[in-house]
Structure 1
């Protein structure tokens, strides 16, 4: 099959420094004998295409940003004609809606991640407006189009919208960006004689960063033989407001802060880490969950899209149902003291991702959905 993945978000994407889901899925599909194309948004300049790898063509299309919706012109229509399967991303993107509501002579799949959460007020409002203006006129699409989701939370969200064919398939990890030798400047600074606790990701309110830093402070104050590392940055003003907390953590002598790192350096840091903290207020999935678990980190996470799909509480990770520092501290303390349980969770976490959540392992679910949609 010739499969086209349309990514409509109107933002520049650095495919060299970000673990791009469309590329990971395409690589797995090419191994299965298919040919793939990926449509990415181009903010300025002339549209162009390139053969990214054998069997994968990337189309950089000039588009317009309409209230955070990437809209493409006739160039996309011409590209669509050359493919058998069209996979669009997010039900509420206008470009996605135009495809899944108006193209009936090809196989069309929606791959969706967001879900309802009271924290995400802006998205909730956007969906209410979108449903009234667009989705209410898409009765045929809701009955016929297959929706693949990144989590059970997202599946329930689409079912509540009236979509009939909804399957939660998760997200896969593309391990290729981690392959080869890289600069080991993070893990070299992480001690080998302590329990290493890590966080990787943006510093922002959605990721509950103040809670994370307060929790790390309590861990370092009360749990001996621990070392905490944070890799990530965020908006300048937001990060500056956190400097007092970061400075206090540095004063313990058991805290490392790195603003950014290439994928290969991150791989080495994950390998050195034992625990990952992920107290996100809202997460569509969280690629760092996949990455950390792949490299045998015991993840302690809030309830979110990724944890609801990946973690079996107490078996391959820990889920905290509140944002009480006492609850989180108790979970960390338990694992630090009970090494058998810690090592068991680490091993099970890695097995979960290797067995079920690399793109190679879940590509078959996408392939079956593509064939189900045959007209």
Structure 2
């Protein structure tokens, strides 16, 4: 757009509808099972999304494998599903000990995810292509710091070392370094989570988005 002469271009992003979380009346048995898993482990990395090439499922496991080789007490929780043959072929590339520390849950409703996000240590989004990534806003809203690949959503929402991290390279060692360094600093994790929530609540709920569109206000935090 700048090449065509447009100036003062700003990415607004999309809004998060939090009303769906206000209507949750009862925790499901499946969510209870996941919560038990989270409560029984101090550090759990969370991924929510399809298990596909576009979402970079193989790289997600490479990252976790690198983390696990250094820190055995960190688990990985995956909520999502993909082609069974494809997923099985990817999983076969990793040792049994690594796979025993990965929990895969095929699906969970958005409403029930509201119980899960706050209990995760970090949220990972390593997508190769991502239009925006609503899970990014969801995790941040629930105070869960995000480590993401460079994509439309992450570059719009995340400020490095303030409310999360955007890593440009698909380098599992670099991702593992960032994960482990932050897990070891609980105070930093709390600050990241607090700032992540602040970013979404003040800028990316629909009430803020439409006000910005109507008023032309450029004062996003």
Aligned partner of 1:355 in structure 2 is 202
2:96, 2:170 → 1: CA distance?
Answer: 21
Distance 1:368-1:248 versus aligned 2 partners, 3 A rule: farther
Q: 103, 122, 127: which one pairs with 1:280?
A: 127
The structure showing larger relative contact order (alpha-carbon pairs under 8 Å, at least 6 residues apart) is 2
Partner of 2:104, secondary structure, is strand
Residues 137-186 of structure 1: per-residue CA shift (max 9 Å, x gap): xxxxxxxxxxxxxxxxxxxxx44466678542111110122222331232
Residues 232-289 of structure 1: per-residue CA shift (max 9 Å, x gap): 112344323223257836643x321011111122111112112011111121210010
2:65, 2:113 → 1: CA distance?
Answer: 23
Distance 1:249-1:171 versus aligned 2 partners, 3 A rule: farther
2:200, 2:16 → 1: CA distance?
Answer: 8
2:108, 2:176 → 1: CA distance?
Answer: 27
1:201, 1:209 → 2: CA distance?
Answer: 9
Contact 1:172 1:359 in 2 (8 A): yes
2:27, 2:93 → 1: CA distance?
Answer: 30
Distance 1:210-1:366 versus aligned 2 partners, 3 A rule: same
TM-score, normalised with respect to structure 2: 0.86
Q: Do structure 1's residue 196 and structure 2's residue 44 form an aligned pair? A: yes
Distance 1:165-1:318 versus aligned 2 partners, 3 A rule: closer
2:97, 2:135 → 1: CA distance?
Answer: 23
Aligned partner of 1:304 in structure 2 is 151
Tell me the matched-pair count. 211
Contact 2:41 2:75 in 1 (8 A): no
Aligned partner of 1:227 in structure 2 is 75
Contact 1:277 1:300 in 2 (8 A): yes
Aligned partner of 2:171 in structure 1 is 324
TM-score, normalised with respect to structure 1: 0.52
Unpaired segments ≥5 residues, structure 1? 1-157, 370-375
Q: Which has the larger radius of gyration?
A: 1
Contact 1:296 1:349 in 2 (8 A): yes
Where is the strand percentage greater, Structure 1 or Structure 2? 1
Partner of 1:203, secondary structure, is coil
RMSD: 2.2
